[in-house]
């Protein structure tokens, strides 16, 4: 492969360091948003409205910070010395990181409407799903950190772990749908829970998508 075309040929340059360090900051904010989502669900499970509202605000703040970093990355990519294929890869990674936070914020915004109990089993399953999202987000952060270090072998390990967690997330979604079907809830609450289930799946799927982009960048660097 002609390494003069690949982004890693510039590793250590000002432009490359800027982009990858911003990506690290971006994934940190996305992960904060996912953790706040998990904490919000836990507060709902404990019927702690005050804690729920605190974590909802944490998620919104982290998502906003991620948006600002996304804009900064796009600005750097527009003026940096990157070839079109490299720029496209980094744009897709940037978008995926943003989608993670957007989906997590989508969950907490729906939880703002939780003013009645659903069922303990449903809420525990939602918490389990959010824990899977947090674990996947942590592995994504690790993978991007290894991308900065140009450690392709470790990137492959972390991304394989994300794939495993994504499959666990799919299984948990089926469990959630099954539990929702057999739980007697008002129609409005059933719709709300279903939307939360979909958004939880989206969070994990976007982590997987971002992981795929990190892995692609690592493969190109070989």
Assign residue 42 the CATH number of its domain.
Answer: 1.20.58.220
Its pTM stands at: 0.89
Taking residues 104-112, report their average pLDDT. 94
The verdict on residue 2 lying in a domain is no
Which of 107, 111, 103, 102 lies closest to 46 in space, CA to CA? Answer: 111
| 18 within 8 A of 86, measured Cβ to Cβ | no
The verdict on residue 1 lying in a domain is no
Q: What is the distance between the alpha carbons of residues 67 and 188, in angstroms, rounded to a whole number?
A: 31
Q: What is the distance between the alpha carbons of residues 109 and 19, in angstroms, rounded to a whole number?
A: 30
How many domains in the chain?
1
Tokens of 126: 């939602």
The verdict on residue 166 lying in a domain is yes
pLDDT digits (tens, 9 = 90+) for 147-175: 888 899 999 999 999 999 999 999 999 99
Q: Range of 116's domain?
A: 7-221
């Amino acid at each position: 492969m002609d390494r003069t075309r690949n982004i890693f040929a510039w590793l250590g340059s000002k432009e490359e360091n800027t982009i990858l360090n911003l990506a690290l900051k971006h994934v940190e904010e996305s992960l904060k948003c996912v953790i706040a989502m998990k904490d919000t669900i836990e507060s709902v499970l404990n019927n702690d409205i005050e804690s729920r509202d605190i974590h909802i605000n944490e998620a919104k703040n982290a998502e906003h910070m991620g948006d600002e970093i996304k804009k900064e990355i796009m600005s750097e990519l527009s003026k940096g010395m990157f070839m079109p294929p490299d720029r496209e890869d980094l744009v897709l990674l940037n978008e995926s990181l943003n989608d993670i936070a957007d989906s997590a914020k989508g969950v907490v915004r729906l939880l703002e409407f939780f003013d009645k109990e659903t069922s303990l089993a449903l809420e525990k399953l939602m918490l389990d799903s959010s824990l899977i999202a947090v674990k996947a987000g942590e592995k994504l952060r690790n993978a991007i950190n290894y991308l900065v270090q140009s450690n392709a072998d470790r990137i492959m390990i972390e991304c394989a772990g994300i794939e495993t967690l994504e499959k666990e997330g799919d299984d948990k979604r089926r469990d959630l749908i099954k539990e929702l079907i057999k739980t007697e809830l008002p129609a409005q609450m059933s719709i709300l829970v279903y939307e939360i289930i979909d958004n939880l799946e989206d969070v994990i799927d976007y982590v997987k998508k971002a992981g795929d982009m990190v892995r692609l960048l690592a493969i190109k660097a070989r």
